[in-house]
């Protein structure tokens, strides 16, 4: 059980779900700004620590693409286009994840009670340890966000924060990675 809560950089991936132009503007204002800031921090941490990163886009023809400010943080990551709510239901996604050899997946993005929740449930069912940073997911309403976090916790996901994830992956304060990320965290 304790292994579910631990993150090891060699066995962890970051998945950014559907943070797209038209979806973003419908989200709770305060939450969405914090979410973008924290996803950028997670992406910077993933890049610095060598974690694989996956990105999804829900029906980009109608909802737009990943936010420009996140695309900058996610340079080189080709988004997985989907119409399914769960990334796990998209052909090829699970194979990509399996090829990475990861055990834990940090899932961030939009909307907490729809695509994030359904993706997390599929990953948990497949035996992955899923970590959802509460400060890097959002929904249109706080009630939907809070309900999603309760459902995720009940299903076995680790509901956590961006800083907790980064410090777990860093493990030590006497490294170049820590010094690089400390400047971003403060």
Residue-wise pLDDT for 118-153, tens only, equals 999 999 999 999 999 999 999 999 999 999 999 999
pLDDT for the residue numbered 2: 62
Choice among 87, 115, 122, 135 that is catalytic:
115
Low-confidence spans in the chain with pLDDT less than 50? none
Domains of the chain: 2-185 (3.40.50.850)
pLDDT for the residue numbered 180: 86
Active site residue 138: no
pLDDT for the residue numbered 1: 58
Q: State residue 131 phi and psi, 5-degree precision.
A: -115, 125
- Tell me the three state secondary structure of residue 84: coil
Choice among 28, 40, 61, 82 that is catalytic:
82
pLDDT for the residue numbered 63: 96
Active site residue 87: no
> Which run of H or E residues covers position 138?
strand 137-138
pLDDT for the residue numbered 186: 74
pLDDT for the residue numbered 38: 98
Active site residue 40: no
Q: What is the dihedral of CA 123, 15, 141, 27, to 10 degrees?
A: -150
């Amino acid at each position: 059980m304790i292994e579910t809560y631990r993150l090891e950089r060699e066995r962890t991936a970051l998945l950014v779900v559907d943070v797209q132009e038209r979806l973003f503007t419908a989200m709770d204002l305060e939450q969405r700004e914090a979410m973008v800031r924290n996803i950028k921090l997670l992406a910077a941490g993933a890049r610095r620590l060598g974690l694989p990163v996956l990105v999804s886009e829900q029906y980009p023809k109608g909802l737009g693409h990943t936010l420009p400010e996140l695309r900058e943080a996610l340079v080189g990551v080709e988004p997985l286009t989907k119409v399914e709510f769960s990334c796990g239901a998209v052909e090829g996604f699970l194979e990509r994840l399996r090829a990475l050899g990861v055990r834990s997946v940090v899932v961030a993005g939009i909307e907490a009670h729809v695509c994030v929740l359904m993706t997390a449930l599929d990953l948990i069912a497949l035996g992955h340890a899923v970590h959802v940073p509460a400060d890097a997911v959002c929904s249109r309403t706080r009630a939907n966000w809070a309900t999603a976090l309760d459902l995720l916790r009940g299903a076995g996901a680790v509901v956590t924060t961006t800083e907790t994830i980064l410090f777990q992956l860093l493990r030590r304060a006497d490294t170049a990675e820590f010094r690089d990320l400390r400047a971003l965290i403060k």
